[in-house]
Amino acid sequence: MSEIKSSKTNQTDNNAYNLIEHLIAQRLRHINTFKLCRVVAVNDDKTLNVINLIPEINADGKIVEPVIWKDFPILQTQGSKAAFRIEYAVDDIVLCGFCDRDIYAVKRNGKKQAAPITPQITPLTAGIVLGAVLFDEAEKYIKITDEGIEIKGNVFIDGSLSVSGGISSTGKMEAGNGASGTFADSGQGASMKTLTIEKGIITNIT
C-alpha cells in the first residue's frame, strides 16, 4: 500500500497549513458530482425542474433551503430518431449528474457547439437527469430476463407488426377489415374450429 504524505513540512507553520487545507476543502465542496433530487415540474421541452433532497449545511449547522434547478435534460436511450422513452412525473426521485463544464449555451444554441457561459467546473447549470431511483413498484413495465420479455400494461402500436411465430391469447382478439390468415377458435372441446380469413372475409371453416 502506498504511503499518503501530508503537505505539511517543517517550514510550514500550523496557520499556513490550516489555511491551505481549508482552501482545498472549500474548492472540493463546490465540485458537483451526483445529487439525489425530486422532480417538481415536467417541462414541454422534455426537460425537468428538480430540487435537491440533501440540502447544504451552513457554518452555523443550519439547513440551507434548496432552490429549484430548472431545465435539466434527460438521459435517454436513443440512436438517430429511434428511442426508448420513459415519461417522468412530478415527485419522481431521480439521480442527477453534472458535466465538467456548463452546458446552458449548448441547450440554447440549437444543440450546437457553444462556449460555456461560466468558467466554473461542474456548475449547477450543467445538470442532467440520469434516471429514477428509490422508486415505487412499477404498475407498467417491460421486464427482460434470460427466459424472455414480459410486458405489463396496455400496448399501443402505431405502425405495422410482424411476428415470425404464433400468437396465443387468453382473451378476446379482434381484427380489422384488412385481416388475413388462419385463426384457431378454441370453442368448447370438440367444437374447435379453424377459420381462414382473407382481407376480412371468412373463406373457409374446418
Check if the beta carbon of residue 53 is closer than 8 Å to that of residue 93: yes
For residues 50 and 72, give the distance between their C-alpha atoms in angstroms, rounded to a whole number.
8
Instruction: Check residue 4 and give its pLDDT.
Output: 46
Instruction: Check residue 141 and give its pLDDT.
Output: 94
Residue 25 three-state SS: helix
- CATH class (in words) of the domain with range 29-132: mainly beta
What the block records as the C-alpha cell of 76 is 435517454
For residues 174 and 182, give the distance between their C-alpha atoms in angstroms, rounded to a whole number.
14
For residues 72 and 54, give the distance between their C-alpha atoms in angstroms, rounded to a whole number.
18
Instruction: Check residue 125 and give its pLDDT.
Output: 85
Domain segments of the chain: what residues? Answer: 29-132, 175-206
Instruction: Check residue 47 and give its pLDDT.
Output: 95
Q: Could you report the per-residue pLDDT of 64-120, keeping only the tens digit for each? A: 889 999 999 999 999 999 999 999 999 999 999 999 998 988 888 888 898 888 888
For residues 27 and 167, give the distance between their C-alpha atoms in angstroms, rounded to a whole number.
61
Which pLDDT band, with edges at 50, 70 and 90, does 169 fall under? confident
For residues 74 and 53, give the distance between their C-alpha atoms in angstroms, rounded to a whole number.
18
Length of the chain: 206
